[in-house]
Amino acid sequence: MFRKRRRLNKRNSKPTIIASQSVSRKSGKRGAMVRGSRVVEIISKTLSEMLVCPLSEQPLRVCEKSNSLISHAIGVSFPIVDGIPCLVPRDGEIVETDSDRTAADAKTDHKTAQE
């Protein structure tokens, strides 16, 4: 149990993880035209029309900032390496949400207090 959590914490510190706040703000901004043209740069139009999340079968969103595809349904991001999206479930990273992080922090704090 403890080992697992340590591994999770290591994961938390990875730079690719995106806070949910910025995600929701970006999707709220509806610059469809601009975004559409940029999407083509990262992955081809054919792909962006066809791809869905491999686990939930829900649509994916291209995140230019982190160069990844994000599945909102399960909160996982998949990297795009050199224009090739990597959608093997193993390559997925869990997107940290703020509420998640505070909960996890609270939990570790609790744990250290106990020890």
Q: How far is the CB of 90 from other proteins (least distance, A)?
A: 5
Asked if 102 and 21 count as a contact pair (C-beta separation under 8 A), the reply is no
- Rounded to an integer, what distance in angstroms lies between the CA atom of residue 62 and that of residue 48? 8
Q: Given candidates 9, 21, 22, 44, which one binds other proteins under the rule CB under 8 A?
A: 44
Spatial CA neighbour of 64 closest among 39, 40, 81? 39
Q: Given candidates 26, 42, 52, 67, which one binds other proteins under the rule CB under 8 A?
A: 52
Q: Does 73 bind other proteins (CB under 8 A)?
A: no
Q: Does 90 bind other proteins (CB under 8 A)?
A: yes
- Rounded to an integer, what distance in angstroms lies between the CA atom of residue 64 and that of residue 61? 10
Q: Does 81 bind other proteins (CB under 8 A)?
A: yes
